[in-house]
A and B are shown apart, each in its own frame.
Chain A
Amino acid sequence: MRAPVAIIGSELTRRVSRLGALARFFFDALRSFGTLPRAGRRVAWHVLLNQIWFTALQAIPLIIVLSGLLSFLVISQAVRELGRFGATEIIGTLMVVAIVRELGPLLTALVVAGRSGTAIAAELATNRVGGEVDALEGMGIDPLHYLVLPRLGAAVVSVFCLIVLFDGVAIAAGLVAATANGMSPDRYFDIVLRSLAFGDAGVSIGKGLVFGAIIGTLPSFHGLRVRRAPTEVPIAAGRAVVGSIVAIFLCSALFVAAL
């Protein structure tokens, strides 16, 4: 009887300890901003811009397609079905609550975690295995300054901007869908804008920052935790993506519970 309890206990301890290490890694990364040498800021800025190029700019077409299709399908169906009962007013709530506040941030974060989270974890794990991280330390360059901080910053900025893009495209695609189903643009905007509160934008922004921090931190953490074997690289990438997705869903649920 003791053995299963011991196994569960040791597994739980291991997971809690990993969570503690992750939290420490995140705060160390944030704190490292204060110790970034003046000359190093330009280098870190360059890495950050490079990461934004990969994380945000290259993901724009995918976000536009996803957001446009999702919004078009949902609003088309809603206008058609709700129109039968004269309840088209509800599409405003549907657009704001379902798409802008919930699905927009969630889908955007999942796309970025899948595209860039994997890339960040695999890149940093390869850096570790190839001795590049040790070489940086040996040259007096903190890997947190050069590798982690710019990626964390870029992930936060990218997720935030992509969520704004997702919401904008969703509202525009909703307009197309509503118009195609016989609703006038004025009425569509009237319904949507009446449902959209300042708080909804705040929630969306808050989620952008939190999800961005998750995507910047978890893959970096798993990437830098590998030891020596190249076989650890795909494992780290897999853990990073799965961990990020779970954390994003958990935080999304916490946002719903808290607001």
Chain B
Amino acid sequence: MTMPGALLAFEAVQLARGAVCDLSVPPHHAVAVSGPEDSGVGSLARVALGLERPPNGRALIMNTEIARLPRAAALAFRRRVGYLPAGDGLLQNLSLQDNIALPLRFGTELDDDAIEGRIRIILTMMHLTDVSALRPAHVNEEQRRRAALARAVVFDPELVLMEQPFDGLTDRAAAELLEVARGGVTAGGSRRTVFITGQDLPHLLRARVDSRYRVVGSTFLREA
């Protein structure tokens, strides 16, 4: 049963090993789901965005099942959601700066000056100014992950979906990225809604998310 007002909800979504994911993510909350690689946890963000269909169940973002929308409407809807795919998904033929600017250039009517201004701010915030002109292949993994997150939040979405965002990062870097994803140090009521999937959540971050779920075998558990 979906919680009223939830920004993201999975209703009886069946995962790979038979576990059934039933959860709602209220606005301004950070929720993490972890589980082994073959548990199907990694596909939850894709299911939410309508890029994959689960064998059973459905996913709703802002009360809309994207998978059932016509293609053009689904694409337009996805442009309202921040998405950090597993493995960063940065376009290799664009510089980090152009990668970050892509959702603004493609999905908004902002003029070049406004886009440049926003990019400068986010590059500074993510400590990427010095490497902004480089392509993804020429920077390290942490910088790529920072750029991918910057791309996901550059248009200030209400909801951010993150797939394995902290793999290979130090706890400190992971905590910093989570803060950026949530919208920085602001009042709780204005923080972004964040949904994280991965094999494990770094220790330091466990207290920084509002709810944690874990897939164990074929069971979907809420962690204390």
Contacts and interface: CB of A to CB of B under 8 A. Distances in A.
Contact of B75 (A39, A43, A131, A140): A140
Given A37-B107, A39-B106, A39-B108, A138 B51 contact: yes
Contact of A138 (B83, B93, B108): B83
Interface residues of B, number: 31
A130 B93 CA distance: 12
A131 B85 contact: yes
Contacts of A39: 105-109
Nearest to B70: A35
A127 interface: yes
A43 B89 contact: no
B134 interface: no
A135 B85 contact: yes
Interface in A209-226: none
Interface in A40-56: 40, 42-43
Interface string A62-82: 000000000000000000000
Contacts of A134: 46, 51, 85, 89
Contacts of A158: none
B91 interface: yes
Nearest to B151: A139
B53 interface: no
Contact of B92 (A126, A136, A137, A142): A126
Interface in B104-148: 105-109
A139 B91 contact: no
State the main secondary structure of chain A at its contact with B.
helix
B59 interface: no
| Residue from the set B75, B93, B102 with the largest chain A CB neighbour count within 10 Å | B75
Given A131-B85, A131-B87, A139 B102 contact: yes
A135 B80 CA distance: 14
A200 interface: no
Interface in A77-114: none
Contacts of A141: 75, 79, 102-103, 106-107
B89 A138 contact: yes
Interface of A: 35, 37-40, 42-43, 123, 126-127, 130-132, 134-142, 146
26 contacts: A37-B76, A37-B106, A40-B107, A42-B105, A43-B102, A43-B106, A126-B92, A132-B89, A132-B90, A134-B46, A135-B88, A135-B89, A135-B90, A136-B91, A137-B51, A137-B75, A139-B83, A139-B106, A140-B76, A140-B78, A140-B79, A140-B80, A140-B106, A140-B107, A142-B71, A142-B75
Given A137-B51, A137-B75, 16 more contacts: A35-B72, A37-B76, A39-B105, A39-B106, A42-B105, A43-B105, A130-B89, A135-B85, A135-B90, A136-B89, A137-B49, A137-B78, A138-B51, A139-B106, A140-B78, A141-B75
